[in-house]
Chain A
Amino acid sequence: MFVIPEIFLAICAIVILFITPFLKKNSYLTISYLSLFVIFLSQFLILKDIFYSEVIFNGFFVVDSFGSFLKSLILIGAGLIFYFYVTVNNPKSLKRPEFAIILLISIVGMLLMISSNDLLSLFMSMELQSLSLYILVSFSRDDFTSSEAGVKYFIIGSLSTCIFLFGTSLVYGLVGSTSFSEISIFMSDLYSTPTMLIVGLIFILVSLSLKISAAPFHMWTPDVYQGAPSIITTLLSTLPKIAAFGVLIRLLVYPFGEIIVDWGKILIILSISSMLIGSLGALRQTDLKRLMAYSTINHIGFILMGLIPGSEDGITSICIYLIFYITMNLGIFLFILNMQRDQVSVTSIKDLSGLYRSQPLTAGCVSIILFSMAGIPPMAGFIGKLIILNIVIDNNLFFLAVIAVLTSVIAAFYYIRLIKSIFFDDPVDELDNISNDHSRYMLCGFALFNLIVVFYPQFFLNICASITLSLFAVK
C-alpha cells in the first residue's frame, strides 16, 4: 500500500491520456491544471506515509522517509514547473496536451527510481524516466536545435543504459542476485572485495554520473540544456538530479557501504573534475542556458563531496544543499523562461544588459539568486556550501576543501559577470517587461527564500537529519 503515490500518478497519467481526445482542440491548459492537481494530491499521499518504512514487492521497492522526502521534493519541484508552464508565455510548439502527460510519466519514473531496492527495478524506472525525457527534450519538433538536443540526449542516455546493464550483469554474476539487500549481505560476508565487483560498481557509477552530469561524463549537458525548450531545461537541471542523487546515495550507502574506501576515491575524482570543469568551462559562455549547464556541473561536484564520507551528516548536508540548489535553479530558470524580446524568447547573456534600468525589482531578485549561487554570504547558497565544507573538513579532506573554495571563486567570476551585465551595462535593446504577476511574485519569493535562510538554517537541518536517519536504520 505504500507505493500508492506512484500507482496513483501512473493511473492518473493514463486516465488523462484517455480523456485528452474528448476535449477541445486547445486543451493543453486544462490538461496541465489537471496534472498540477494530480501532483498536489500525490504530494499528500507521500506526506501521509513519510515516517513509514517498509520493503515491498519482494524487495523490489523500498519505502522509507529518506525516499519520501526526496519524492516530495521532486513533487514540489514538479508542481512549480507545471505552474511555470501554465503561467509563462510558452512557444507555440509546447502548447500541446501530450506535454503534461509525458512529464507526469517521467515523474512517475523518478519517484520509482528513488524507491528502487533492486538493480532491475532501478533499471526499469530509470528507463521510464529517461525515455519520457528524450521525448520532452525534442518536443519542439520544428526546431532544429531541440531535435538535435533530443538525439544527443538519446544517444548518450542509451550509452548510459548499456553501461549500467553491463555493470549490473557483473554484479549479478558475482552476487547471484540483483537485490540490494542480497548484495549487502554478500558484501558483509566478504574478507576481500573481488575486483570484478568493483569494476561492476564503477560501470554503474559511470552510468549514474552520466545521469547527474558529473564531469568527465558531462559532455551532453551544455548542448542538451541549450537546445531543449527552456521549460524542459528547468526540469532537466532540477528533478532528474534529485532522483539520480537519491539512487546514488541509496546504492552507495546501503549495498556497497562496505567498500567505501573504493568508491570514495572515485567520488573524489568525480567531484574535483566536476568542480573544475563546471567553473572553468563556464567562463567563456555567451548563452545563459549553456552557462547554467556548467553551473549545474559545478554544483553537482560540490554536492558529490558530501557523499564521500558516506556518513549520516554527509547525506544530511546533501539533502540541504539539494533544497537550496533547486530553489536557486528554479528561480533563475523562471527568469530565463520570462526573458523575451518582442514575444520571442532570448537566452543570450548580452540580453541581460541594463535589466536594472527597465525592471529594477526583477533585476534585484535575479541578482540575489545569482549571489546565492556564487555562495556569497548571507544567501542560502553560502549556508549550503558551509554545511558541505563542514563535512569535508570534518573528514580531514583539506585538499578537497581548498579546491572546492578556489573553484567557487572562479565560479563566482561568471555569476558576477551576469550581475555586472544586469546592473552596470548600458541597455542595448530592452527586454519585454515580465507581464504576468505570477512570475514576478514567484521570483520575489525565490529571492526572499534565498535571503532569509541564513536566519534559521536549523529548520532544514532538523528535517534532513531526521529523514537520513531512516536510510541508516535499514543497515
Chain B
Amino acid sequence: MINLPILPILIALPLIGLVFIFLSSEEDENAEQSKKSALWTSASNFVLSLYLPINFDKSIPHFQFVNTFSWFNNDSLRFSLGVDGLSMPFIILSTFLILACIIFILPQAKKNMKMYLASFLVLESFLIGTFSALDLFSFYIFFESILIPMYLIIGFWGGERRIYSAYKFFLYTLLGSVLMLIAIIFLYQEFGTISIPKLLDYTLPFYIQIWLWIAFFSSFAVKIPMWPFHTWLPDAHVEAPTEGSVILAGILLKLGGYGFIRFNLSILPDASIFFTPFIYFLSVVAIIYTSYIALVQDDMKKLIAYSSVAHMGFVTLGIFSANIQGLHGAIIQMISHGVISAALFFSIGSIYNRYKTKRIDFFGGLNIKLPKFSVVFLIFTLGSIGLPGTSGFVGEYLTLLAVYSKNTMVAFISTLGVILSASYMLKLYKRVFLGGLSENLDKKKDDINIYEICLYVVLVILIFIIGIKPGLILSYTTASLERIIQFYPISIF
C-alpha cells in the first residue's frame, strides 16, 4: 500500500478549490467558471475518497490511514486523522452528496453564486475533518465549524423565514455542543490524552461516566435530532435552499449518530447501558409522535423533515441496542437515509424550481405533467417507506431485529412506525402525483433535465444496491463495530 496522506488531501482539496473560485473575477449569478471549478474539485475529491475503501484492510478493527500533526508542541496534544470501518462510509457519503449538490446547482442561477459554491466546499472540508478526526479537540473544532457555512447557507439563500431558522439552527446546536466541550476538556484532564484510540482503552468510574454521557448526549441528541430536541430541524429544512436541506438531512444529522457510536457507546459503556431505557423511550416517542405530525403537514419539506426525525429514531434504537445487528442496522439506516432523504429533497427542489411552491395542496396529478419524474419519485418514496429490496428496508429490519432481542415491547411499538411511514409517504405521493390534474398546473413545464436524470439514476441505483447487497458496506464496518461492542453483555435486560 502506498503511504499517501489521503485524509489531509481530502480535507485540503476543497479549500484549494475555494481559492480558484475566489480568483475568478466573474460576478454574475451564473458564475460558469466558478461552477466548473467547484464541480472539478468535488468530483476529484469524490474519486480520491474512493481510495479509502479500495485500500482499506477489512480485517483490522483499528484506525487506518492515520496521520498525526503536532498542534500544541506536547505529546498529548496532537491533531490526528484516521478512519476505521465506522467513519469510512460517512466520508464517502459526504464527498458523494457534496458532488451531487454541486451537480444539482449547475443549471441554476442564484444570487452570490460564488459564495454559495464556496460554502459547500468549506462544508465538505469540515465534514471530512469531523468524520476522520481521531482526537477530541480537532473533532470538536471541525464539528463546531460546520455551523458557520451552514448558518450562511440557510440564512443567505433560504426561504422567507430564513433568518429565524438560521438563528435557531445555530444557537440550538451551539448550546448542545458547548457541554460536550466541557466533557472533552475533562477527559483530557483525566487521562492526559485527547487521542480517541487511546481513550478506548480506559474505563471510567460509573458516576463520572453518567455526567460525561449527558454532556455528549446533549450535543448529539440535538444534532441527530431526537425528540424533544428536534424542533430546529423542520424550520431549518423548510427554509434552507434545496442543496442545504440535502446536506442537512444527508450528512449533518448523521454526525449525531456517528458521535453516539464513537463517544457515548465506545468510551462510556456503563452509562450507555444505564441510559438505554431512556433512549428507547425517546426513540419510540420520536418514531410514533413525529410520524403522526408528518401525516398532517401541508409542506413537502416539512413532511420529509419530520420523517427524518422518525427515521433517526430507528438509528438511536439500533445504536443503543449495542449488538452487532443493531449497529449494522443503524449504520445502514443512516447511509440509506442519507441517500433517500437527499433524493427526496432533490426531488422537492426539482418541483420547487418549476412551480415555486412546496405546498402539497397546490399539486395534484403531477404525473401527467412530469411522467419520468413521477416514476423516480415513487422509487424514492418506496425507499423511504422501507420496501424490501430498497435500502430503507435493510436498516429498519436489522434495527427491529436487534431491538426485538432486547425488548419485545419496544420493537412492537416501533414497528408501528414503519406502517405510519408508509401512510404519510404514500399520502404525499397520492396528493402530489396522482388524482385529477390540479388547475394550478396548467402551464407546460419541462420534464427533468439531463443533470437531474443523471443524479436521480445514480441515486436510484444506490438505493437498490444498498438494499440488495448491504454487505458491501457492512463488510467494512463489522470489525470496528465488534471491537466497540465487545464490552457489552449479550443481553441487557
Provide the residues of chain A in CB contact with B152, threshold 8 Å.
423
Instruction: List A410-447 residues whose CB lies under 8 Å from chain B.
Output: 412-413, 416, 419-420, 423-424
Interface size on B, residues (CB 8 A): 33
Q: Are A458 and B72 in contact (CB under 8 A)?
A: yes
Q: Are B188 and A405 in contact (CB under 8 A)?
A: no
Interface string of B58-82 (1 = CB under 8 A from A): 0000000000001111100000000
Q: How far is the CB of A368 from chain B (nearest CB, A)?
A: 9
Instruction: List A382-428 residues whose CB lies under 8 Å from chain B.
Output: 382, 386, 389-390, 393-394, 398, 401-402, 405-406, 408-409, 412-413, 416, 419-420, 423-424
B156 interface residue (CB < 8 Å to A): yes
Q: How far is the CB of A194 from chain B (nearest CB, A)?
A: 36
Provide the residues of chain B in CB contact with A386, threshold 8 Å.
137, 181, 185
Q: How far is the CB of B211 from chain A (nearest CB, A)?
A: 8
A461 interface residue (CB < 8 Å to B): yes
B419 interface residue (CB < 8 Å to A): no
Of A378, A457, A462, chain B has the most CB atoms within 10 Å of the CB of A378
Instruction: Report which of B145, B148, B151, B179 forms a contact with A405, defined as CB distance below 8 A.
Output: B179
A-B CB contact pairs (8 Å), 6 listed: A376-B174, A398-B182, A398-B186, A405-B181, A408-B178, A457-B71
B461 interface residue (CB < 8 Å to A): no
Q: How far is the CB of B401 from chain A (nearest CB, A)?
A: 39
Q: Are B179 and A377 in contact (CB under 8 A)?
A: no
B301 interface residue (CB < 8 Å to A): no
Interface string of A450-461 (1 = CB under 8 A from B): 000010011001
Provide the residues of chain A in CB contact with B141, threshold 8 Å.
377-378, 382, 454
Provide the residues of chain B in CB contact with A263, threshold 8 Å.
none
Provide the residues of chain A in CB contact with B74, threshold 8 Å.
458
Q: Are A458 and B181 in contact (CB under 8 A)?
A: no
A371 interface residue (CB < 8 Å to B): yes
Roughly how many angstroms separate A376 CA and B171 CA in the complex, as a whole number? 11
Provide the residues of chain B in CB contact with A419, threshold 8 Å.
151
Provide the residues of chain A in CB contact with B147, threshold 8 Å.
376
Instruction: Report which of A382, A405, A420, A462 forms a contact with B182, defined as CB distance below 8 A.
Output: A405
B163 interface residue (CB < 8 Å to A): yes
Q: Are B182 and A377 in contact (CB under 8 A)?
A: no
**Known contacts A376-B147, A416-B171, A461-B72; A389/B182 CB under 8 A:** yes
Roughly how many angstroms separate A402 CA and B215 CA in the complex, as a whole number? 10
Interface size on A, residues (CB 8 A): 29
B189 interface residue (CB < 8 Å to A): yes
Interface string of A162-188 (1 = CB under 8 A from B): 000000000000000000000000000
Instruction: Report which of A389, A394, A457 forms a contact with B181, defined as CB distance below 8 A.
Output: A389
B residues with a Cβ closer than 8 A to A are 70-74, 137, 140-142, 144-145, 147-148, 151-152, 155-156, 162-163, 166-167, 170-171, 174-175, 178-179, 181-182, 185-186, 188-189
Roughly how many angstroms separate A393 CA and B188 CA in the complex, as a whole number? 10
A contact patch SS: helix
Provide the residues of chain B in CB contact with A401, threshold 8 Å.
182, 185
Closest 8 A/B residue pairs (Cβ): A405-B178, A377-B141, A458-B73, A377-B144, A393-B185, A424-B155, A409-B175, A458-B72
> Nearest CB to that of A395 among chain B residues?
B189
**Known contacts A393-B186, A423-B155, A457-B72; A409/B171 CB under 8 A:** yes
Roughly how many angstroms separate A454 CA and B126 CA in the complex, as a whole number? 14
Instruction: List A363-383 residues whose CB lies under 8 Å from chain B.
Output: 371, 376-378, 382
> Nearest CB to that of B74 among chain A residues?
A458
Interface string of A280-304 (1 = CB under 8 A from B): 0000000000000000000000000
Q: Are A378 and B145 in contact (CB under 8 A)?
A: yes
Roughly how many angstroms separate A454 CA and B79 CA in the complex, as a whole number? 11
> Nearest CB to that of B114 among chain A residues?
A360
Q: Are B188 and A462 in contact (CB under 8 A)?
A: no
Instruction: Report which of A394, A402, A423 forms a contact with B156, defined as CB distance below 8 A.
Output: A423
Q: Are B73 and A416 in contact (CB under 8 A)?
A: no
Q: Are A390 and B188 in contact (CB under 8 A)?
A: yes
Please name 5 further chain A to chain B contacts, defined as beta carbons within 8 Å, in addition to the given A386-B137, A390-B188, sorted by A numbering: A378-B145, A389-B185, A390-B185, A398-B186, A402-B182
Q: Are A376 and B189 in contact (CB under 8 A)?
A: no
Roughly how many angstroms separate A390 CA and B74 CA in the complex, as a whole number? 15
> Nearest CB to that of A390 among chain B residues?
B185
Roughly how many angstroms separate A371 CA and B181 CA in the complex, as a whole number? 17
Of A371, A424, A462, chain B has the most CB atoms within 10 Å of the CB of A424
Provide the residues of chain A in CB contact with B178, threshold 8 Å.
405-406, 408-409
Provide the residues of chain B in CB contact with A378, threshold 8 Å.
141, 145
